[in-house]
Amino acid sequence: MALDEIDVQAAVARSSDEPFVTETLRLRAPVANEIRVRIVATSVCHTDTMTKDKALCAFPIVLGHEGAGIVAALGDDVTGFEVGDHVVLSYDYCGRCPQCQRNKPSYCDDHGSLNFAGVRPDGNKTHRSCNSDSPDVFGSFFQQSSFATYALSHPSNTIRVDKSLPLPVLAPLGCGVQTGAGTVFNTLQVEADSSLAVFGCGCVGLSAVMAARVAGAKKIIAVDINPDRLDMATELGATDTVTPGDFAEPTAMVEHIRSLSGATGCHYAIDTTGVPSVLRQAFDCCGPLGITAMIAPGVPGTEVSIEMLGLLPGKSLRGVVQGDSVSKTFIPKLIGLWQEGQFPFDRLITRFDGIDALDAAAQAMTSGEVIKPVVILDDSYQQ
């Protein structure tokens, strides 16, 4: 059966220095391999705000890549889903390249084009202004653009969840939570009785703290300039907290963290800030054979300096995308840990009601007022 395009309410970014503004757009009908999802809730990620604020995208655009909702329509070739299914949306991948074939889809050859280009894989836009005869607004961000009441996704980045679960709570699993937790579980494979330093205690960093506690790390050292976030880190499993402003020199802070590790340095370190000097500190905190995970790469062209001699004790620096997570299996794993009371990521969430509140939610996250804003887009949803 042929499907028609529909009206959607979307929070549109028209430039890097303008706020998100709610507009009525027309969303193209799903093609053969697409799923139309009624977005119940979407969370805001620093990737959304950085992409907009640093003009790392084409404008105008509908961003959003942590959507959760209900399947509303299916393209003719979609299998494994039914209308009415509850789903969480995540990053997309091709499924064909060498990395995808090795079950490492977050390093897909097409990761950049599929998730950041703002168009379908065939190069076409999915959104148009109501006064336009052809698509004139970029979308397909992470092949979803969930800052809207409806989104188009693919089976590859759509994860079915049990209908008894609260969709607004699950939204952050699509990127931020799985990135932090995945870095601990999948990338670093943190071992029991080991030591880990986490630089930056936003959603990603705190998810790493929670995962490290589950993994049985003996020392979990949280580093942040925000005392409220350090308090939250302690509640979620950090054994020690460090405020950089308490030290006259970064080297003194590094030595303090190394002393907290209980050995000659940490086994692992994670930088979530994207600040080169902080990444260097994270690297320097590690002892022999230590591994530093870089989650936030900063804007294109950003470089970091590492002393070559510092690599000789077998230390390594590893870039990480989406926590090496295969969302189809990893998101259900995190849900299971949450249901068991071991991974209380819901404590990071602050709720905002209505699509008109999306800009305020983004600003609250950027300012540090909240950790993970979740915006409810469908006020008819009842859990």
Average pLDDT over residues 271-276: 96
Contact 233, 224 (CB under 8 A): yes
Is the predicted pLDDT of residue 1 greater than 60, yes or no? no
Read off the pLDDT of residues 138-186 as tens digits, 9 standing for 90 and up: 999 999 999 999 999 999 999 999 999 999 999 999 999 999 999 999 9
DSSP string, 119-188: S-TTS---EEETT-SS--BB--GGGT--SBSEEEE-GGGEEEE-TTS-HHHHGGGGTHHHHHHHIIIIIS
Tell me the β-bridge partners of 74. Answer: 35
- Give residue 298's pLDDT band: very low, low, confident or very high (50, 70, 90): confident
Mean pLDDT estimate for the chain: 97
List the beta bridge partners of residue 379.
Answer: none
| Predicted pLDDT of residue 383 | 74
Lowest mean pLDDT of 191-200, 223-232, 346-355, 374-383, name the range.
374-383
SS3 string, 236-255, reads HCCCEEECHHHCCCHHHHHH
Provide mean pLDDT across the span 192-213: 98
pLDDT at 280: 97
Distance CA 116, CA 100 (A): 18
How far apart, in whole angstroms, are the C-alpha atoms of residue 8 and residue 146? Answer: 11
Closest among 168, 169, 141 to 157, alpha carbons compared: 141
Q: Is the pTM of this model over 0.95?
A: yes
pLDDT of the residue at 2: 62
pLDDT band with cut points at 50, 70 and 90 for residue 3: confident
Name the token pair of 345. 């990521």
Considering the chain, what percentage of its residues have pLDDT values greater than 90?
Answer: 96
Task: State the pLDDT confidence band at 47, using cuts at 50, 70 and 90.
Answer: very high
Of 137, 125, 153, 149, nearest to 6 by C-alpha is 149
Instruction: List the end-to-end C-alpha distance of the chain, in Å, as a whole number.
Output: 31
Quickly tell me which residue has 């399947």 as its tokens: 71
All structural domains of the chain:
6-174+344-376 (3.90.180.10), 180-321 (3.40.50.720)
pLDDT exceeds cutoff 70 at 93: yes
**What is the CB neighbour count within 10 angstroms for residue 310?**
14
